[in-house]
């Protein structure tokens, strides 16, 4: 290893965006045949750095050297020409094309009038065989599974002669089996002399696949370490920057009445496929139920089904003992349910609405905010001023537009709206994602406050740490099914991890197990 030459070198890369420095004086050296993990939380600057290497962004300062020569990338085409390939988090493939068509124009074209589709297809199929990837070159991308699409992305990069492959959070959309397959491919590529930069915020991935790990935090490199000579503990210390995550005071569990019953619920996703396949859950007042799971396993669909935004095809949902399966969202809100959606930009708050409008989004029709169809602005203004104070929203007044707020303040606005009415039941979907630590803690504190006054909180998060931090019970969702439920103080991380990966501890029927687990709970 020591004799390997340096393939890619970054020197003092700095990139500023309005208001933030996304990358600050970043140095990085990548050797031939090395798998490097770039570890960091959301917003640490990983993606920005990779976009710079791939020519999508240009650095404000600093140098990029490929094989010792300084290069300047004006577009991805330059990067591709220097042997750099990228697999984006959201795949950059034309959905209506087949893989070969994607590959053919994948480097900005061949400068021929008619591309040699047949030749490209042969080369593509050969390449796929070489790395043991089973792909039909004639299937359109939109008809492929996520894992297949990712393989096409990798092949596209290889086809164009990539020696350095950048993968941006490649596992966040994969099932464990697909992840395994991906790791196999990556190791094979390493054997061929390919260098890989692997971006992730998951510790175990970093330690499993990489040779070296570089930890990024708030745009700066904290350290680069050999994977062999480190462990999860010291990595997480670097990542979080303090020894232990602060535990928030919780009152003893309130043994409240049943607040939510989800009974064998089925629902479809936007593509019309079954996303929920018989979910059953029960929750009481005064508890936080953490729903863990890899993103995209039906979490959003479940949240939407409960809040009335998504039709339930089968099964029953009861809130406070009353069936709400076919109720409209407003009915369910009126019954005391609140929903903090993951998608703050399109769903949680209006970008072109003022804070005031965002705050009365769900109660504009109620007295005293409106009377006989007319909005009562003095009352609304008062109410909003109070909420802005109470929830510490930093803004230039109640007329500030949603798009002018930072992520944290937008989320505080949403919290203020959702929690102000003291709802009995709260769904919080990834409530702290994308926020800085302070704002994230504020959000978590608010959820605990609600729990302490007797509300039931369903916390949906892909971040296991967050779930373990504040939940009373932990459930795991996988491919639209609940794999199991556990008391938080008896949590066995090993089992939770297995559930998240879809293995159910020997039992074949996940549904049955869920039921039996639920029965145990009741007893």
Q: Can residue 110 be called a binding residue for other proteins (CB under 8 A)?
A: yes
| 151 lies in the binding site for other proteins (CB under 8 A) | no
SS (H, E, C) 326-366: CCCHHHHHHCCEEEECCCHHHHHCCCCCEHHHHHCCCCCCC
- Judged by CB under 8 A, which stretch of 4-12, 22-30, 123-131, 354-362 contacts other proteins? 354-362
Interaction of residue 105 with other proteins, rule CB under 8 A: yes
Euclidean distance between CA atoms 344 and 280, whole angstroms: 27
- Axis crossing angle, helix 407-420 with helix 437-452, rounded to the nearest 10: 10
Among 118, 255, 374, 438, which residue interacts with other proteins (rule: CB under 8 A)? Answer: 374
DSSP secondary structure code for residue 298 in this structure: S
418 binds other proteins (CB under 8 A): no
- Contacts of other proteins in 268-327 (CB under 8 A): 272, 309
Structure tokens at 117: 């589709």
Structure tokens belonging to residue 217? 């935090």
Based on the shown chain and the rule CB under 8 A, indicate whether residue 75 belongs to the binding site for other proteins. Answer: yes
- Return the residue of 69, 112, 118, 508 that touches other proteins, per CB under 8 A: 112
| Nearer to other proteins among residue 45 and residue 484 (C-beta) | 45
Q: Which of 71, 94, 188, 240 lies at the binding interface for other proteins (CB under 8 A)?
A: 94
Beta bridge partners of 267: 276, 312
Cα–Cα distance for residue pair 458/65, rounded to 1 Å: 49
Minimum CB distance to other proteins smaller for 110 or for 509: 110
* Least Å from the CB of residue 466 to other proteins: 23
User: Which residue of 30, 52, 93, 165 would you call a contact of other proteins, by CB under 8 A?
Assistant: 93
CB of 153 to other proteins, least distance (A): 10
Shorter beta-carbon distance to other proteins: residue 179 or 333: 333
- The β-bridge relationship of strands 84-87 and 164-168 is parallel
Nearest-approach distance from CB 55 to other proteins, in angstroms: 8
Closest distance to other proteins from the beta carbon of 3 (Å): 34
Give 401's DSSP letter. Answer: B
**β pairing state of 164-168 and 195-200:** parallel
Burial (0-12, 13-18, 19+ Cβ within 10 Å), 270: exposed
Show the site string, 36-65: x = touches other proteins by CB under 8 A, - = not: ------------------x-xx--------
Of 351 and 452, which CB lies nearer to other proteins in the complex structure? 351
| CA atoms of 488 and 470, how far apart (whole Å) | 9
CA 439 – CA 435 distance, rounded (Å): 6
Task: Decide: 269 and 326 in contact? Cβ < 8 Å.
Answer: no
Residue closest to 22 by CA, chosen among 44, 2, 4, 37: 44
Least spacing, CB of residue 128 vs other proteins, in Å: 19
Q: What would the x/- binding string for other proteins be over residues 9 to 28, using CB under 8 A?
A: ---------x----------
| Residue from the set 72, 122, 322, 330 that interacts with other proteins by CB under 8 A | 330
* Three-class secondary structure of residue 451 per DSSP: helix
- How many residues contact other proteins, by CB under 8 A? 60
Q: Cα dist. 470→435, 440, 489, 494 in Å?
A: 17, 12, 11, 19
What does the binding site for other proteins look like in residue numbers (CB under 8 A)?
18, 54, 56-57, 75-78, 80, 86, 88, 91-97, 101, 104-115, 272, 309, 328-330, 333, 339, 341, 343, 346-353, 357, 361-362, 364-365, 370, 373-375, 397, 399, 404
């Amino acid at each position: 290893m020591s004799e390997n030459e340096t393939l890619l070198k970054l020197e003092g890369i700095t990139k500023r965006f309005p208001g933030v420095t996304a990358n600050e004086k970043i140095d990085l050296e990548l050797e031939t045949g090395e798998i490097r993990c770039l570890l960091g939380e959301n917003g640490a600057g990983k993606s920005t750095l990779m976009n710079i290497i791939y020519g999508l962004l240009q650095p404000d300062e600093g140098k990029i050297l490929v094989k010792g020569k300084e290069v300047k990338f004006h577009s991805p085409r330059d990067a591709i020409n220097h042997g750099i390939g990228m697999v984006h988090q959201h795949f950059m493939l034309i959905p209506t094309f087949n893989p070969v068509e994607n590959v053919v124009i994948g480097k900005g074209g061949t400068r021929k009038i008619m591309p040699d589709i047949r030749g490209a297809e042969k080369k593509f199929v050969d390449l796929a065989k070489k790395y043991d990837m089973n792909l039909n070159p004639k299937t359109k991308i939109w008809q492929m599974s996520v894992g297949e699409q990712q393989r096409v992305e990798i092949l596209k990069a290889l086809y164009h002669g990539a020696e350095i492959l950048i993968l941006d959070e490649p596992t966040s959309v994969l099932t464990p089996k697909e992840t395994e397959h991906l790791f196999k491919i990556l190791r094979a590529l390493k054997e061929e002399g390919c260098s890989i930069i692997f971006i992730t915020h998951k510790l175990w991935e970093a330690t499993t696949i990489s040779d070296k790990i570089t930890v990024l935090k708030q745009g700066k490199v904290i350290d680069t370490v050999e994977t062999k000579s480190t462990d999860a503990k010291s990595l997480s210390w670097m990542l979080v920057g303090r020894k232990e995550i602060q535990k928030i005071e919780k009152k003893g569990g309130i043994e409240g009445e049943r607040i939510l019953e989800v009974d064998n619920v089925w629902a479809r996703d936007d593509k019309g496929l079954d996303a929920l396949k018989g979910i059953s859950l029960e929750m009481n007042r005064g508890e936080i139920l953490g729903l863990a799971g890899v993103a995209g396993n039906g979490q959003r669909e479940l949240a939407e089904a409960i809040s009335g935004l998504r039709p339930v095809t089968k099964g029953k949902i009861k809130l406070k003992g009353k069936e709400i399966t076919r109720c409209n969202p407003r009915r369910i809100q009126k019954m005391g349910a609140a929903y903090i959606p993951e998608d703050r930009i399109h769903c949680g708050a209006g970008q072109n609405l003022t804070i005031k409008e965002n705050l009365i989004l769900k109660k504009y029709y109620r007295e005293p905010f409106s009377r006989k169809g007319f909005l009562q602005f003095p009352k609304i203004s008062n109410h909003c001023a109070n909420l802005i104070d109470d929830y510490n929203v930093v803004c230039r007044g109640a007329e500030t537009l949603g798009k002018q707020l930072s992520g944290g303040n937008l989320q505080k606005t949403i919290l203020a709206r959702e929690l102000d009415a003291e709802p009995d039941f709260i769904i919080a979907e990834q409530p702290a994602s994308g926020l800085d630590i302070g704002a994230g803690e504020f959000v978590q504190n608010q959820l605990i406050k609600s729990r302490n006054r007797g509300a039931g909180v369903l916390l949906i998060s892909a971040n296991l740490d967050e779930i373990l931090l504040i939940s009373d019970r932990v459930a795991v969702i996988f491919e639209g099914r609940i794999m199991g439920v556990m008391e938080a103080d008896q949590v066995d991380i090993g089992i939770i991890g297995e559930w998240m990966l879809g293995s159910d501890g020997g039992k074949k029927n996940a549904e049955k197990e869920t039921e039996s687990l639920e029965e145990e709970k009741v007893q």
